Amino acid sequence: MAFPSTNRDTLLRTEKIFFRLSEAGNFVVSDGTAFVGFLDEDGWVWIILPGLAKFVWKTGKFVRNFAAGALAPAIASTEWRRRHLLILGYHGVSIEDEHIWDGSLYMSPKLFRERLRVLQRAGCAVLPLGDAVRRLNEGTLPARAVVLAFDDGYYDFAAVVAPILAEFGYPATNFVSSYYAEFNRPIFDIMLRYLLWKGANKTLDLSGVLETPVKLDNKGQGEARLRIKTFAFERGLSGWDKDKLLGRLADALGIDYEQLCRKRLLHSMNAEEVHRMHAAGHSIQLHTHRHRVSRKRELFEREIQDNRRWLGQINGGAPLVHMSFPGDAWEPVQREWLTELGIETATTCRPGLAEKGGDQLRLPRFMDHEHVPEQVFRAWVSGSMAFFPQAKYLPGEGQILEDTIKMKSEVAL
Ligand SMILES: [Zn+2]
C-alpha cells in the first residue's frame, strides 16, 4: 500500500474523502477502536480494521509516526482541521536541568521556542481556551487553531515561559493549583524526586526516616522516595515539616537546598506572579487547591471552591470556569458536580482534537514533552495524528484523595 503523496491533486482528493468519512461519523480513531483509512496514489481508499489498527500501533510508533507525518500536509489545510481544536498540554519549562531529570514533566527552553516556531510557520491561530471553545461551538474557529495549556502554575511559567510566549505574541491558559502558590516552598512530591535524582549513585543515610542507608541507583531512588513519602504521610507532616524533611534530605546528599529555593526551582508562582500573568493576557484557570480530586462530592467541591476563592482574589474577577484534572484523575461521577459548580470545560490528558458537540467536560489534549519527536508534534499540529490509535494516558499516582495513604491530615491542611 502506498501512502498519499503530497501533490496537489492528491491533496484535494484526500481532503474530500477524509471530509466525507468524518461527516459519516465513522472515521475517528483516537481511542483505537474505530478505523484508520488511507488514500493511495490511484485514489483507492484503504480501511484498516480495529484489530489491524491496534497491530499497526503495537508494531511500532515508527509506522504510525511515518503515516501521520505523510498525511500531515494534506490534513493541515482541510475543513476538517478548521473545525477541530488542538489543545497542547505542558507542565514546566526548565530554569536549570529539570528536563534532563524528567523530560515528561519538563521541556528545555530551546525546545519550547522551537515548538512555537513550528506553530508560527504552520500559520496556527493560538487562542486562550475559553475563546477557542466558544468559537469551536459557534463554528468560527480560525485555521489550525491551537490552545497552549499549562498545568500546575509553576514559577518557571512566569520566569521562562511567559517571556518566550511574548516573543511570539501567544496567549496561554494556565491551570493553577493554589496550595503551593500560597505556601511558597518547593512542591514536596516533585522536589523529593528531584533531590534523589541529584544524589544519584550516592548512598543516602537518613536515620529516623530510613531504617538502613540506601544506595541511590535507579531502583534505590524509587525505594527511598516511597519510604520518605510514607514517612511523611503516616506522621501527617505539615507543609513546613515536609519542607524541613526535604532540607534534611538535601543536606544528607550534599545539595544546597536553600540555593534551589532562591532560584525557585519546582516552586509554584506566588500571588503576585499569578496576577502578573493574568495582567499579561494569560488565562488563569482551575486545577484544584491541593492538586487532588475526590470521589466524595463534598471534598471534590471544596477543592474547586478553595481554588476558585484563592484565584478569584487575583485575577480581577475573570470567570473561573475552566478546569484541568490534576493527574488526569477523571471519574464519571464528577460530571454532574462539575456542571453544578458552573464548570464549562474540563481538560484531560486523553490525546486527541476537540470537536464541536464533543464532551466539553472531558476535552482531549496532547501532552507535549521533551521526548516527543518534532515529526510527531507536527503531525498533531496538522491534525493527522488524531486519526491514529494512541497510547492511553495513565493517571498520576495519588491524585484521587481516597487513594492516598494519609487522607485525613492532607484534608486538614
Ligand atoms: Zn497538575
Instruction: Residue count of the chain, please give it.
Output: 413
Q: Please give the distance, rounded to the nearest whole angstrom, from the Cα atom of residue 395 to the centre of ligand 1.
A: 10
Q: How confident is the model at residue 76 (pLDDT cuts 50, 70, 90)?
A: very high
Residue 383 and residue 323 in one domain: yes
211: domain range? Answer: 188-264
Residue 29 in domain = yes
The residue from 264, 284, 315 where one domain ends is: 264
Q: Please give the distance, rounded to the nearest whole angstrom, from the Cα atom of residue 157 to the centre of ligand 1.
A: 14
Q: Please give the distance, rounded to the nearest whole angstrom, from the Cα atom of residue 36 to the centre of ligand 1.
A: 32
Q: Please give the distance, rounded to the nearest whole angstrom, from the Cα atom of residue 153 to the centre of ligand 1.
A: 8
Q: 376 is written with which cell numbers?
A: 510527531
The domain total for the chain is 2
Residue 70 and residue 164 in one domain: yes
> What is the rounded CA–CA span in Å between residue 202 and residue 222?
14
- State in Å, rounded, how far the first CA of the chain is from the last one: 60
Q: Please give the distance, rounded to the nearest whole angstrom, from the Cα atom of residue 52 to the centre of ligand 1.
A: 35
pLDDT(253) > 50:
yes
Residue 398 in domain = no
In eight-state DSSP terms, residue 126 is E
Q: Compute the average pLDDT of residues 105-110.
A: 97
Q: Please give the distance, rounded to the nearest whole angstrom, from the Cα atom of residue 339 to the centre of ligand 1.
A: 21
Instruction: Kindly report the average pLDDT of the chain as a whole number.
Output: 84
Is 55:361 a contact under the CB 8 Å cutoff? no
The residue from 264, 282, 312 where one domain ends is: 264
Residue 252 in domain = yes
What's the burial of 103, exposed, middle or buried (CB within 10 Å: 0-12/13-18/19+)?
Answer: middle
Q: Please give the distance, rounded to the nearest whole angstrom, from the Cα atom of residue 175 to the centre of ligand 1.
A: 8
Higher pLDDT, 15 or 190: 190
Higher pLDDT, 156 or 390: 156
Q: Please give the distance, rounded to the nearest whole angstrom, from the Cα atom of residue 287 to the centre of ligand 1.
A: 7
Query: Which residue type occupies 118?
Result: V
Q: What per-residue string of b and e applies to 271-292 under the rule 16 or more CB within 10 Å gives b? A: eebbbebbeeebbbbbbbbbbb
Q: Mention every residue, 6+ apart, whose C-beta is less than 8 A from residue 107.
A: 90, 92, 93, 94, 99, 115, 368, 369, 370
Q: 161 is written with which cell numbers?
A: 515561559
Residue 192 in domain = yes
Is 287:298 a contact under the CB 8 Å cutoff? no
> What is the rounded CA–CA span in Å between residue 17 and residue 26?
12
Q: Please give the distance, rounded to the nearest whole angstrom, from the Cα atom of residue 123 to the centre of ligand 1.
A: 29
Q: 395 is written with which cell numbers?
A: 493517571
pLDDT(87) > 60:
yes
Residue 237 and residue 129 in one domain: no
Residue 107 in domain = yes
Residue 87 and residue 177 in one domain: yes
Residue 210 in domain = yes
Residue 403 in domain = no
Residue 95 and residue 206 in one domain: no
Query: Which residue type occupies 168?
Result: F
% of the chain surpassing 70 pLDDT: 80
Q: Please give the distance, rounded to the nearest whole angstrom, from the Cα atom of residue 201 to the centre of ligand 1.
A: 29
Question: Which H helix or E strand runs over 148?
Answer: strand 145-152
Residue 48 and residue 143 in one domain: yes
Q: Please give the distance, rounded to the nearest whole angstrom, from the Cα atom of residue 90 to the centre of ligand 1.
A: 10
Q: Mention every residue, 6+ apart, whose C-beta is less than 8 A from residue 183.
A: 239
pLDDT(4) > 50:
no
> What is the rounded CA–CA span in Å between residue 305 and residue 216?
40
Q: What is the pLDDT of residues 35-58, one digit of tens each?
A: 445 544 444 555 555 555 556 555
Q: Classify the C-alpha dihedral 256-261-262-267 as positive or negative.
A: positive
Q: Please give the distance, rounded to the nearest whole angstrom, from the Cα atom of residue 291 to the centre of ligand 1.
A: 6
Residue 242 and residue 339 in one domain: no
Provide DSSP, 38-68. EE-TTS-EEEE-HHHHHHHHHT-HHHHHHHH
Is 76:381 a contact under the CB 8 Å cutoff? yes
Residue 303 and residue 254 in one domain: no
Q: What is the pLDDT of residues 265-315, one digit of tens each?
A: 999 999 999 999 999 999 999 999 999 888 889 999 999 999 999 999 998
Residue 156 and residue 248 in one domain: no
Residue 89: name the closest of 298, 357, 380, 320 by CA: 380
Residue 300 and residue 171 in one domain: yes
Residue 395 in domain = no
In eight-state DSSP terms, residue 293 is B
- The whole-model pTM stands at 0.82
Q: Please give the distance, rounded to the nearest whole angstrom, from the Cα atom of residue 349 to the centre of ligand 1.
A: 10
Q: Classify the C-alpha dihedral 56-60-62-68 as positive or negative.
A: positive
Higher pLDDT, 393 or 171: 171
CATH of the domain at 318: 3.20.20.370
Q: Please give the distance, rounded to the nearest whole angstrom, from the Cα atom of residue 207 to the centre of ligand 1.
A: 32
Residue 22 and residue 132 in one domain: yes
Q: Please give the distance, rounded to the nearest whole angstrom, from the Cα atom of residue 177 to the centre of ligand 1.
A: 7
Residue 276 and residue 317 in one domain: yes
The residue from 202, 234, 264 where one domain ends is: 264
Q: Mention every residue, 6+ apart, whose C-beta is less than 8 A from residue 82.
A: 141, 142, 143, 144, 145
